[in-house]
Structure 1
């Protein structure tokens, strides 16, 4: 039976070179695609057990955190189901009327905690970015924003989520506070469910364009109060949309 032996092999058909692709796209997105490809190539059916995290790390030659992030994305999408202590199994999409909604309901407490932490950290980060961002940071923020807008227009939710989180990470990096930047990166790698859930709510991607634009302009203007408020409003709106659309939290 044919197999996908490594992430580089899978990406070769989509990009000119694997190293170039890593610069264009977050590893977790590539891993997500690679796992989907494994399911297709090896003809795995609903209920079949997928490789373990350890086996996927070895097979795709990426970090365990990237594997876990990809599996979370796939679980929210209804592609796989992760059972603690048992492993990862292929799901049956036809049995799920709304896999994202099902996931949100099952993980409501984790999502509440996710937004609680972000509301504590990110408005302050936006304020600090106004004070300490250098020209290269402002250019990076503008680039991240432009990429996010482009991805939303293509309708690719997964790449839009990647671009959304990249924008938030750029804000954290602009603070020049290394501890804060590391904390945000860790959250992005291990607590990304809030991004994933909120951006599946109808209209949230489009609303995020305007909200990111407001935040970006405030940072460009070095308006600390407006930047902090823009970030808080953005996060609260995302939470509100989850509550309204998914009927939970």
Structure 2
């Protein structure tokens, strides 16, 4: 582990496995780990999180089920390529304002939603509703999960069958995620407000209700970017 790594933080005991999986997800993002990068050992993660190895192992199973990591027996835990293949084009957005990023993501997310409506299978649409319902179940207990949110948007972009849109949006989302994670005194409750819109979006996609789907994604995006604007 490099001295510059941002360490995992201890978590509360409620919804333990989900909170541990979120903490590991945050570790991956904040340390900018790339596909095939190796995570700390179960023992080290358990020590950083001040929990048991069994709890860490269960959280890793959740992340593996969600497609974020994979476990190689005898070698350790590694970050998985969420796009299923190596990217042949690499680029970076520089000197972009928040407003410019919001305009770009809105255009791309609108197309992703349209693609999901027209290209997603019935099974995929039901799966999207299932993930959104899981988010809502946690929402009813005042719990938000980055892991479930990641799963929702990954499934949405995969349904659109356009890897370029998926990769660019994910880059913008990761940038926003890191900006929010670095805010002092902030917690995950700031994202709870968007959970009902995720279910509305999934249902609208399943019903091929384009206006409702675009309205829901706009509300989700507006909330996320408003947080960045208010922090300036």
Please tell me the TM-score bracket, short chain as reference: 0.5 to 0.7
- Unpaired runs of 5+ residues, structure 1, are 29-58, 67-107
1:65/1:190 CA distance change after superposition, 3 Å: farther
The equivalences for 1:14-163 within 5 A come to 14=55, 20-24=61-65, 27=68, 62-63=78-79, 111-112=98-99, 114-153=101-140, 155=142, 157=144, 160-163=145-148
Cα separation, partners in 2 of 1:190 and 1:223, compared to 1, 3 Å: same
Q: CA deviation at 1:13?
A: 2.3
**Structure 2 alignment gaps of length 5 or more:** 1-38, 47-52, 70-74, 83-94
Displacement after TM superposition at 1:183 (Å): 3.6
CA RMSD of aligned residues (A): 4.1
Alignment of 1:129-208 (within 5 A): 129-153=116-140, 155=142, 157=144, 160-188=145-173, 192-193=177-178, 196=181, 204-208=190-194
Per-residue deviation, residues 119-139 of structure 1 (Å, max 9, x unmatched): 121122112211111022112
Q: Structure 1 residues 63, 138: closer, same or farther in 2, change over 3 A?
A: closer
Cα 1:109–1:118 change in 2 (3 A) is: same
Q: Is the 8 A contact 1:111 1:194 kept in 2?
A: no
Distance (Å, rounded) in 1 between the aligned partners of 2:174 and 2:108: 16
Deviation by residue 1:187-222 (Cα, 9 ceiling, x = unmatched)? 555653367589x58964332122112211210110
TM normalised by structure 2 equals: 0.55
In structure 2, how many angstroms separate the alpha carbons of the residues matched to 1:155 and 1:185? Answer: 26
Q: Which residue is 2:207 aligned to?
A: 221
Q: Higher Cα Rg: structure 1 or 2? A: 1
Query: CA 1:194–1:128 in structure 2 vs 1: closer, same or farther (change >3 Å)?
Result: farther
Match of 2:42 in 1: 8
The answer to whether the 8 A contact 1:131-1:224 is kept is no
Are the structure 2 counterparts of residues 137 and 195 from structure 1 closer, same or farther at C-alpha, using a change threshold of 3 Å? farther
Residue pair 1:65, 1:189 contacting (<8 A) in 2 also? no
TM-score of the two chains, using structure 1 as the length reference: 0.52
2:117–2:208 Cα contact (<8 Å) kept: yes
In the alignment, the residues of structure 2 paired with residue 195 and residue 168 of structure 1 have an alpha-carbon distance, to the nearest angstrom, of 18
